[in-house]
Structure 1
Amino acid sequence: MTGQMTQIDREALDWLVRVNDPAFEAWDDWQAWMAADAFHAEAYWRLAESEAEAVEALKAMPVVSVQRVMPRRASGLPRRSAIAAAVAVLAIGGAWVGWSQRAQPWIIETAPGETRTVTLDDGSSVSLAGGTRLVLDRKNPRDVDLEAGRALFEVVHDETRPFVVQVADATLTDLGTIFDVTRLEGGARVSVSEGIVRVDMQDATETLNAGDGALATERGIERREVATEDVAAWREGRLSYTGETLSVVAEDLSRALNVPITVSPEVAERRFSGSLSTTANTSTQVSRLAQLLGVSIRADREGWRLEP
C-alpha cells in the first residue's frame, strides 16, 4: 500500500489482524463494521488480498537463500543474526498461513415461519426459508453446508471458484445459476430456474438445466421437471408441486407456517399437484389445506396431523 495510511485503512488492518487470530469471536461486530460503509469492506479486502500475496511469497521463499546471499565475515554473529531473523520471518509467515487457512464458521439461521436474504461478498445471494440453518466459511463463502431447511441461491458465476452446496449426502456444484435446495428428512430436493447445477451423490451424477429438478435420496437421484417460475415462488408465499408426496409437502408447510405437521402412513406417499398459499390466516388455513390436499387435518396443541 502506498501513500499515507487513512483512518479506515488503520481500522481495516486492525480488523484483519483480529480476524486472523484463532481466538477471534467478535464476528457480529466485524460484520457491522463492514456493513457500515462501502469503503470499510473495500479497504479490508484490499489489505486481505495483499496479505494473501505476501503469504504466498513467504511460502515460496527457500530458507537456504538467506545463507547464500550473506557475505562471509570473520565474526559469525551477523550471519547467525540474519538466519535467526529469516527464521523468525518465516515463522511469522507460517503463522499467517495457518490463520489465513483456518476455517471461520459463519452460521445463518432462521426460525420457522421466518424468511431472510443474505448477500455474500462475491455478489451472490441466498434466501432462507423458515427453519433453515446454513453453515459457511467466512474465508470461502462459496462453500456452503445446508444443515436444515430450504434456501434459494442466486449465484454470480466464477469459473475459477465454483459454488458448492453440501446437503445431506448430495453435493451440488453450481455453474452460475439460480437454484432452490431443500433438505428433506430422507434426502435433498433441488430445482433449477436458470443456468446449470451438477448433482453428485455416491456413484451417481446428474446435470440439471433450467426447468430440471431432482430428488436425491439413498435410492439415488430421481430427475423431475419443474416450472421455472415456481422455483422461487415460496418467497411470495406460494408452494407449487407436481406429483409431490404429502410427506414432503408437510415438511415445506411446517417451515413456512411455523406449525409442526405430521402425516399418517396411510396418506404419506399420496401425490399432490397444485399450489398452496402460506399467507392465509390460521383460522382459515386448516380447512383450506384439508380441501386442497384431500385429507382430514387434526389440529391440537402438538401441531397438525394429515389423516385420511
Structure 2
Amino acid sequence: MTDHSLSQDEYDAITDAAAHWCMRLHADDCSAQERVAFEQWLAADPLHAFEYQAMLEIWDVAGDLPRPEPIAVPMVPAKHQTPWRTFGMAAAVCALALPLAAYSGWNLGWLPNSYQHFETTNNVRQVTLNDGSKVELNLGTELTYSNYKDQRRITLKKGEAFFSVTHDTSHPFVVKAAEGKIRVTGTKFNVWMYEDQVKVNLIEGSVLVSSNDDLPGDGLRLGPSMQASYGRGDYIPRIRQTYDNDNSLAWLNGKLVLDDLALSEALPLINRYLATPLMVADNSTGAIRIGGIYNIKELNTLVTNLPKVLPVYLTRNEEGNPVLNSIPQKPPKS
C-alpha cells in the first residue's frame, strides 16, 4: 500500500476506478487488452484490490435489486446501445459507491442505505446487524444484509444461521435462501441450507415460508415448534411439527446429532461441513442407518471412521469424491 495518507480525492479516484473496472469486466464487450490493463491496475496497490473486492460485493447486491418499470429513452444507434441489465447494474454500482445508496435509489426502494457482509470458516460467529438483529453463523456460512426502504433483506449464500430479529412490523425482515424466502417482522428462527435444500425451524413468533420467490403470495405460515423444508422445483414447502427432542439447533453448542437416520438423509447434514462431499454408491447403501453425536469441527474424521462402525467401505469416484459402498451380506449357510 502507498506509504502516505491518501486525500479524500485520491481515495475517491480509486473507488471510481474500482467501479469502472467492475462494470467493464462484467460487460460482454470487455477486450483482452482491457483485462490486461485491469490486472496491472489491480497489482499496482493493495488498496486497489481491497476496493475492487468491496465493489464486487456491491455488484452482487445490485444484481438482486428490484427492477423498476421500463423508462422511455431516446433511440440511439445500435452500436451504442447498452443492455438494460448492464446499464441498471452499472448505475446501481455507481450510486452505491459514491455514496452508498443515492437518495433517489433509496427513496424508490431500489437501493439499500446499509450493507453488511459476513462469512465464517472454522468458527461459529455471532454478529449484530445494523437494525439491531442478532445472527449466529454456523461454520462455513456466508450471508449479506441490505437495508431497503420497504424491507430488511438477508441473502444466505451458503451454510446455516440462527436469527433473533428486531421487531418492526412496518419494515419486514426477508431471508432469501436458494429459490425461496422467509418473511418475518420479529422472531427467532433457524435457516439451514445445503445446495438447493433448505430447512427453516421456528423457535418464537411466526414466519412465512415460500419455496419459490417467483410464486405469488407470501407463502405458508409457521408457528413455534414447526419446520418447513423445500428444494429446487417444490411448489410449496413441506411442513412438519418438531418436538422437544429436536436436534436442529445442536450446532449452537458445536454438535451435530444424527438420530438413527438413513445415510441418504444424514449425508446432507454431514456434507454441509465437508470440503468434498461424501456420497453413497446406491440405494441399499443409502438405506443404512447411522446415529451419534459429533463435534462439527471434527466431521472430516467421521468420513474415514464410518467403515469402522458401519458395514461399508470407501472408494473414490472419477471426480475424487469419497463414496460409501455397502459390504455385501454373506448368504446364510444351509
TM tier, smaller: 0.5 to 0.7
- 1:263 aligns with 280
Q: Which residue of 2 aligns with 1:305?
A: 323
How far the C-alpha of 1:190 sits from its partner, in A, is 0.9
The answer to whether the 8 A contact 1:170-1:200 is kept is yes
> What's the CA shift for 1:99?
7.1
SS at match of 1:227: coil
Instruction: Please state how far the C-alpha of 1:280 moved relative to its aligned partner.
Output: 7.8
Report the alpha carbon displacement of residue 172 of structure 1 after superposing the two structures with TM: 0.4
Cα separation, 2, equivalents of 1:121 and 1:105 = 8
Cα deviations by residue, 1:218-267 (Å, 9 ceiling, x for unpaired): 23311122235634211212224568664453233233355532233425
Shift of residue 132, structure 1, vs aligned partner: 1.9
Report SS of the residue matched to 2:168: coil
Matching residue of 2:238: 222
CA distance in 2, matches of 1:24, 1:262: 42
Kindly provide the CA deviation profile for residues 147-201 of structure 1, in whole angstroms up to 9, marking residues without a partner as x.
2221111212211211110111211012422211122334311111222111123
Aligned to 1:196: 206
State the Cα distance separating 1:208 from its structure 2 match: 1.0
Unpaired runs of 5+ residues, structure 2, are 1-7, 20-46, 52-100, 327-334
In structure 2, the partner of 1:97 is 104
The residue aligned with 1:110 is 120
In 2: Cα distance, 1:280 partner to 1:108 partner: 19
Closer/same/farther in 2, CA of residues 230 and 265 from structure 1, 3 Å limit: same
Q: Which amino acid in 2 is paired with 1:211? A: S
| 1:34-73 to 2 correspondences below 5 Å | none
Task: Quote the residue 1:285 is aligned against.
Answer: 302
Relative to 1, partners in 2 of residues 1:260 and 1:225: Cα closer, same or farther, differing over 3 Å? same
- Bigger RCO of structures 1 and 2 (CA < 8 A, at least 6 apart): 1
Query: Which structure: greater strand fraction?
Result: 1
Partner of 1:132: 141
User: Cα–Cα, structure 1 residues 120 and 285, in superposed 2: closer, same or farther, change >3 Å?
Assistant: same
Matched, 1:238 2:292: no
Alpha-carbon distance in structure 2 between the residues aligned to 1:172 and 1:244: 27
**Aligned equivalent of 2:165:** 155
**Structure (1 or 2) with the larger CA radius of gyration:** 1
The 1:186/1:265 distance shift into structure 2, 3 A limit, reads farther
The alpha-carbon distance between structure 1 residues 244 and 197, as it changes in their structure 2 partners (threshold 3 A), is farther
TM normalised by structure 1 equals 0.57
Q: Distance in 1 between matches of 2:240 and 2:261?
A: 10
Does the 8 Å CA contact 1:286/1:297 hold for their aligned counterparts? no
Q: Secondary structure of the residue that 2:171 maps to in structure 1? A: coil
Query: C-alpha distance in 1, partners of 2:125/2:297?
Result: 20
Per-residue CA distance 1:43-88 (angstroms, 9 max, x = gap): xxxxxxxxxxxxxxxxxxxxxxxxxxxxxxxxxxxxxxxxxxxxxx
Structure 2 residue 222 is the aligned partner of structure 1 residue 208: yes
Partner of 2:187: 177
Counterparts of 1:272 and 1:196, CA distance in 2: 34
- SS of 1:235's equivalent in the other structure is helix
Q: CA distance change for structure 1 residues 172 and 96 in 2, over 3 Å: closer, same or farther?
A: closer
- Alpha-carbon distance between aligned partners in 1 of 2:311 and 2:240, rounded to the nearest angstrom: 25
Instruction: Return 5+ residue gaps in structure 1 as ranges.
Output: 1-13, 30-93
Higher helix share: 1
Q: Residue deviations 1:114-146, cap 9 Å, x none?
A: 322211122211122222221222667931111
Between the aligned partners of 1:175 and 1:124, the Cα distance in structure 2 is 11
Q: Distance in 2 between matches of 1:166 and 1:252?
A: 20
| Cα distance change, pair 264–214 in 1 and its aligned pair in 2 (3 A) | farther
Sequence identity of aligned pairs in percent?
Answer: 26
RMSD (CA atoms) = 4.0
Shift of 1:210: 1.4
Q: Does the aligned pair in 2 maintain the 1:181–1:191 contact within 8 Å?
A: yes
Count of aligned pairs between the two proteins: 223
Q: Does the residue aligned with 2:283 lie in a helix, a strand or coil?
A: coil
Q: For 1:227 and 1:288, locate their aligned partners in 2 and report how far apart those are by CA, in whole Å.
A: 30
2:92 aligned residue: none
Change (3 A) 1:255 1:282: closer
Higher mean displacement: 197-206 or 162-171: 197-206
Secondary structure, in 3 states, of the residue corresponding to 1:117? strand
Aligned equivalents of 1:297 and 1:115: distance in 2?
32
Residue 152 of structure 2 aligns to a residue whose secondary structure is strand
Q: Give the letter aligned to residue 173 of structure 2.
A: F
Q: 1:115 to 1:251 in 2, by over 3 A?
A: farther
Decide whether aligned partners of structure 1 residues 123 and 232 sit closer, same or farther in structure 2, where only a CA change above 3 A counts.
Answer: farther
**Which residue identity lines up with residue 285 of structure 1 in the other structure?**
L
